Amino acid sequence: MMNMTDMVKHLLIINIIFFVGSFLIPNSAELLALHYFESDKFRLWQPITHMFMHGGLMHIFFNMFALVSFGSALEQMWGGKKFLFFYLSCGIGSMLLHSGVNYYLFHHTLDLLIENGINQTEIFQVLNEGKYNTQWLEFISQSTMDNMASAFLTPAVGASGAIYGLLVAFAFMFPNAELALMFIPVPIKAKYFVPVILSIDLFLGLKGDSLFGSGGTGVAHFAHLGGALCGFLMMWYWKKNQFNNNRWD
């Protein structure tokens, strides 16, 4: 692993501070995690702050390991300002796709309930209390109800979307670099590894009773894909305009 670069080091420290602070400061996780934007718990700062929150020790460990491993190489090529812009943009792209999928899941079920005479205000009121009405199951399936409740009630945390953007950028910049990862016994070239990881996320994201089911994994797969898509589009644009060799410092 190469020496850690300055911006990567700053991001690492901020993530650790947020992680420790989430255990020390009451209600900080609820305030800083990303809630569904139609929920009463949504706040304007959450699209940014959720990127620095993590759900557990292994969650932050793997994200920060990837940040240091791949981010340092990219920052050396780009410089700190361009790297930070890319990182935050991928995190926001991740949030947008994740929120868009949740919007589809929620409103697909909301429309079904309204068509069956359930009052919209009542639906929002019950969900904002962190519950759902079992009588709604007369009109929709349990899996559809679970998708709606998960979309509305489950907050998103983590730098994974931004990290997936870094993975895509690394594969662009160093396609033949061999990645020797902890859970894979043989090195794999980045240009093969990244598409495989994204394909797995897409499969798991689509798995389930509905088009955008969670697949029962408890992982925001479309957040990963959103970060990767944003990273791909930015790298494609920069390469097309030969902008990827310019430093912003």
What Å distances lie between residue 62 and 27, 112, 114, 164, CA to CA?
Answer: 25, 40, 42, 12
pLDDT of amino acid 219: 59
> What is this structure's pTM?
0.88
- Cβ-in-10-Å burial (0-12, 13-18, 19+) of 190 comes to buried
Length of the chain: 249
CA pair distance 179, 14, nearest whole angstrom: 26
CA pair distance 133, 197, nearest whole angstrom: 37
pLDDT of amino acid 135: 93
Task: State which residues of the chain have pLDDT below 50.
Answer: 1, 208-217, 244, 247-249
pLDDT of amino acid 241: 78
What DSSP character marks residue 248?
-
pLDDT of amino acid 208: 47
Reference 220, options 21, 17, 19, 53; nearest CA is: 53
pLDDT of amino acid 21: 94
CA pair distance 220, 237, nearest whole angstrom: 26
pLDDT of amino acid 206: 76
Q: What is the pLDDT of residues 53-79, one digit of tens each?
A: 998 999 999 999 999 999 999 999 999
pLDDT of amino acid 5: 95
